Amino acid sequence: FIFASSIIFILIAIMKKKIYDINILFALGAKNKLIYCVFLWYSLIYIIFGIIFGTSIGLLISSYFDKIIQNIEKFLNTKFLSSNIYFIDFIPIKVIYSDIFYIILLVFSLVIVCSSYSILKIIHKNSIRSILS
């Protein structure tokens, strides 16, 4: 959800900066469908790169999490999970690839729906402005 909302806010900011370009496209005779497709491609590019980098970094961190914690403990000269206090002295991590797939699918669909809504909202505002002007 955090990833999807950050992508949505980035896309809204990009579209607000591109309102001048949208007005130029309207002036040149571009239809709403063309503008919708262009900004949908923008969002797809952001989604694909975000999913690829986010998933790969997350899987990399989860596979080397024990070594990362050990290095942090050596650097800080403390023990986070002492065996004297806790039953286990490590953090058990199990990667379930079906859950990762479902999360990716959920984020992808959420960002597509929200970016489509924001694109249509901006196109509608610009359509009204071009008609009134």
> Token digits for 24?
């130029």
pTM check: above 0.75: no
Cβ(123)–Cβ(35) under 8 Å? yes
pLDDT at 92: 77
| Per-residue buried b or exposed e for 43-63, using 16+ beta carbons within 10 Å of the residue's own CB | beebbeebbeeeeeeeeeeee
**How far apart, in whole angstroms, are the C-alpha atoms of residue 126 and residue 20?**
10
Q: What is the mean pLDDT of each run of 10 residues along the chain (133 residues)?
A: 70 75 79 83 84 90 87 85 68 86 88 80 65 48
Within 3-78, strands assigned E span none
Boundaries of every domain in the chain? 1-30, 31-130
**How far apart, in whole angstroms, are the C-alpha atoms of residue 95 and residue 78?**
27
Please name the helix (run of DSSP H) or strand (run of DSSP E) that holds residue 25, with its range, or none: helix 19-27
pLDDT at 132: 46
